[in-house]
Amino acid sequence: MRSDRRYDVAIAGGGFAGRTLALALARLAPAGFSIALIDAEALQADLPLDARALALSAASKSLLAVLGLWPALAPNAQAIESIEITDSPLNAALRPYFLGFDDELKTGEPGAYMVETGDLARVLSAAVADEEAIDVYAPNTVADYTSDEFGVAVTLGNGQTIAARLLVAADGKRSRLRERAGIKCVGWSYPQIGIVTTVAHAKSHHGRAVQHFLPAGPFAILPLKGNRSSIVWTESAAQGEAIMAASEAEFVAELGKRFGHRLGEIALAGVRQSFPLDLQIARSFVADRLALIGDAAHVVHPLAGQGLNIGLRDVAALAETIVESARLGLDIGAAPSLERYERWRRFDSAFSAAVMDGLNRLFSNDSTPLRALRDFGLGLVERAPALKRFLVREAAGATGNVPRLLRGEKL
């Protein structure tokens, strides 16, 4: 293979998953390890306007801490101190919650933190720019690649070619590399859209997150620093598009009906944005000299804020697999290494996607028998402290075969 430059790993896609993997390899792999990071958008600039804030689990925070990135994020990261889950009708005078997590979250490290996407993008970009081991090709694309027993030859959109031992597809849910490798997906689009915005309110949220299951889909109020909350509002596609097209006054009126009065007067404190919602799992997470991570491998319903957390589990597992192989002098792109990664991540991702899908189906309806059944089931959870503690540990990403970086250990 004749190429302009040779690397150990080429990463297609410099979103949150791709950028974090590049940093993990640059900081933890043996000296001399080299990484190419290719993205369609320029990485040094902030992300295009994105209204989202991300709920990052304690495990994701540990990964960012091991990589030395957390201190820059911590000042504006809001810990989630308690969670309330309700499915009260909107016109109910009171909205009693049937499942709450309070003391369970106060036993040690918070289970999750809210981090604004602009902050995460800035911190990751600055760290990538400082790493000598990472060459950034952006704006540029991965147009094509071929593989053989020695490595991959990657053709970029501007005609340049680079070679690597392993190519990582971190190019998002419409991954061109996944398609090029002939990997099919299972899944479907939800007849819902996710509306996202930021709200300022008169009173303090005290770190409380609220998940309000409404018939069209869940409405989440997630605490941000200051008297602000991030809204993730799932609506049926038709109703959601009408809400997005409404004037600001009408939008705030609809938002206010769902938000309630508990935090006092509200005002919009950011743009509104909507996202199509899908469930999608790649049938395989690997192919010849190719590994899929992040949304290229799996897309889940955002109702529990798990998408990137699952993607960062891929990052931690793949980084551990690559670093261990590299230290032993093994071929990091060879089948045994890739098979280890796939065994580690595919079942866990499919399981998470199925749980989010099940919850969305169970709650996004107004059937009286179903409402009675789910309230009964969740009422049982509410009275079972051990089960609640387990759920908290699961949401924090602390159960199962957890990669070492997610436990806060260096490789």
Ligand X SMILES: Cc1cc2nc3c(=O)[nH]c(=O)nc-3n(C[C@H](O)[C@H](O)[C@H](O)COP(=O)(O)OP(=O)(O)OC[C@H]3O[C@@H](n4cnc5c(N)ncnc54)[C@H](O)[C@@H]3O)c2cc1C
The whole-angstrom distance between residue 231's C-alpha and the CA centroid of its chain comes to 16
Q: How many residues does the chain have?
A: 411
Residues numbered 335 to 394 that lie near ligand X (CB under 6 A) are: none
**Which CB sits closer to ligand X, 8 or 50?**
50
**Which CB sits closer to ligand X, 131 or 331?**
131
Residue 196 to residue 243: CA distance in whole angstroms = 12
In angstroms, give the least distance from the CB of 17 to ligand X.
3
**Which CB sits closer to ligand X, 222 or 326?**
222
Q: How many CB atoms lie within 10 A of CB 49?
A: 10
**Which CB sits closer to ligand X, 65 or 327?**
65
In angstroms, give the least distance from the CB of 141 to ligand X.
4
> Which of 292, 341, 10 has its CA nearest to residue 145?
10
Residue type, 262: R
Q: Judged by CB under 6 A, which of 36, 63, 99, 142 binds ligand X? A: 142
> Which of 166, 196, 121, 114 has its CA nearest to residue 8?
166
Residue type, 341: Y
Is the CB of residue 157 less than 8 Å from the CB of residue 90? no
What three-state secondary structure class fits 239?
helix
**∠ Cα 68 70 72 (to 5°):** 95
- Judge residue 144's burial from the number of C-beta atoms within 10 Å of its C-beta, 0-12 exposed, 13-18 middle, 19 or more buried: middle
CA dihedral 241, 242, 245, 246 (to 10 degrees): -150
In angstroms, give the least distance from the CB of 112 to ligand X.
9
**Which CB sits closer to ligand X, 18 or 260?**
18
Q: Does 194 bind ligand X (CB under 6 A)?
A: yes
Q: How many CB atoms lie within 10 A of CB 151?
A: 22
Q: Judged by CB under 6 A, which of 110, 172, 270, 333 binds ligand X? A: 172
Q: Judged by CB under 6 A, which of 176, 208, 313, 345 binds ligand X? A: 176
In angstroms, give the least distance from the CB of 140 to ligand X.
7
> Site map for ligand X, 26-65, x if CB under 6 A?
------------xxxx----------x-xx----------
In angstroms, give the least distance from the CB of 282 to ligand X.
12
Residues numbered 262 to 321 that lie near ligand X (CB under 6 A) are: 275, 294-295, 302, 305-309, 311
- Judge residue 128's burial from the number of C-beta atoms within 10 Å of its C-beta, 0-12 exposed, 13-18 middle, 19 or more buried: buried
In angstroms, give the least distance from the CB of 51 to ligand X.
9
Is the CB of residue 313 less than 8 Å from the CB of residue 225? no
> Site map for ligand X, 224-263, x if CB under 6 A?
--------x-------------------------------
Residue 339 to residue 351: CA distance in whole angstroms = 19
10-18, 206-214, 328-336, 370-378 -> range binding ligand X (CB under 6 A): 10-18
**∠ Cα 251 256 262 (to 5°):** 160
**Which CB sits closer to ligand X, 220 or 330?**
220
Beta strands in 170-292 (DSSP E): 185-201, 208-214, 217-224, 228-236, 266-268, 273-282, 286-287, 290-292
In angstroms, give the least distance from the CB of 90 to ligand X.
21
In angstroms, give the least distance from the CB of 152 to ligand X.
14
**Which CB sits closer to ligand X, 120 or 326?**
120
27-35, 64-72, 167-175, 284-292 -> range binding ligand X (CB under 6 A): 167-175
Please report, as ranges, the residues that interact with ligand X according to CB under 6 A: 12-18, 38-41, 52, 54-55, 141-142, 170-172, 176, 194, 196, 232, 275, 294-295, 302, 305-309, 311
